[in-house]
C-alpha cells in the first residue's frame, strides 16, 4: 500500500477525498450523526488545527482509507470525560480511521494507524469508539488500547468508549 502524509497545509486539497471515503465507509448507515454534512463539519474543525496530521492509503485500484488526528493542547482531553489520572505529557487524539469496505479485514487499517503515529511526539494516543461497536473496540484492544471510560461529546452523538494507548 502506498502511504501519503498530509498536514494542515494540505487540508483543502484532500477534503473531497476524505469526504468521499467517509461516504463509502458509511454507505449503509442511515444515522444522521454519520451524514456527510455532519462529518464535513468535524473534518473542517480537526483539519484547521495547525498540528493536524493525516495519512491516506492507496492501491492501484484507488484509495484504501485514511486516518487523522492532532495533538491535544496541553492538558486537553475529550469533551465530557476527565483526563485519566497519571496521564502526563503530550497526547495525540486520533479522530478518524476509515477504510473503504472492500479493504476491511486486510490489515490496512493497522498500517494506516501505525504510519500516522510513527512520527508523533506524544506519550500516549487516545481515540473514541462508539459503544455500539464492540468488535471495533476489541480490535483496538489488540493494538494495545485500554478503555479509560465513556463519553458523549454532544447531545446527538452516540456514547463512546474513551480508549488510550501509551506510546
Query: What is the pTM assigned to this prediction?
Result: 0.94
DSSP code at position 160:
E
Count CB neighbours of 11 within 10 A.
19
* Contact call for residues 93 and 148 (beta carbons, < 8 A): no
d(CA 116, CA 67): 7
Sheet holding 62-71, edge to edge: 2-7, 53-59, 62-71, 91-99, 124-130, 160-166, 146-151
Q: Give the count of domains, the chain.
A: 1
DSSP code at position 136:
H
Q: Containing domain of residue 22, as a range?
A: 2-166
* CATH assignment of the domain containing 136: 3.40.630.30
pLDDT tens, the chain, 167 aa long:
999 999 999 999 999 999 999 999 999 888 888 899 999 999 999 999 999 999 999 999 999 999 999 999 998 999 889 999 889 999 999 999 999 999 999 999 999 999 999 999 999 999 999 999 999 999 999 999 999 999 987 667 789 999 999 99
Amino acid at each position: 500500500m502506498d502511504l501519503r502524509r498530509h498536514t494542515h497545509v494540505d487540508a483543502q486539497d484532500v477534503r473531497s477525498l476524505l469526504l468521499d471515503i467517509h461516504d463509502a465507509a458509511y454507505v449503509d448507515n442511515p444515522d444522521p450523526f454519520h451524514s456527510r454534512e455532519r462529518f464535513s463539519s468535524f473534518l473542517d474543525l480537526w483539519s484547521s488545527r495547525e498540528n493536524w496530521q493525516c495519512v491516506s492509503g492507496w492501491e492501484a485500484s484507488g484509495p484504501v482509507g485514511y486516518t487523522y488526528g492532532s495533538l491535544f493542547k496541553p492538558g486537553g482531553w475529550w469533551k465530557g470525560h476527565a483526563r485519566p489520572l497519571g496521564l502526563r505529557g503530550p497526547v495525540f487524539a486520533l479522530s478518524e480511521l476509515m477504510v473503504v469496505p472492500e479493504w476491511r479485514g486486510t490489515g490496512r487499517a493497522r498500517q494506516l494507524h501505525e504510519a500516522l503515529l510513527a512520527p508523533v511526539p506524544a506519550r500516549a494516543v487516545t481515540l473514541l469508539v462508539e459503544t455500539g461497536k464492540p468488535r471495533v473496540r476489541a480490535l483496538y484492544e489488540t493494538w494495545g488500547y485500554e478503555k479509560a471510560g465513556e463519553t458523549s461529546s454532544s447531545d446527538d452523538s452516540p456514547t463512546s468508549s474513551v480508549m488510550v494507548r501509551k506510546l
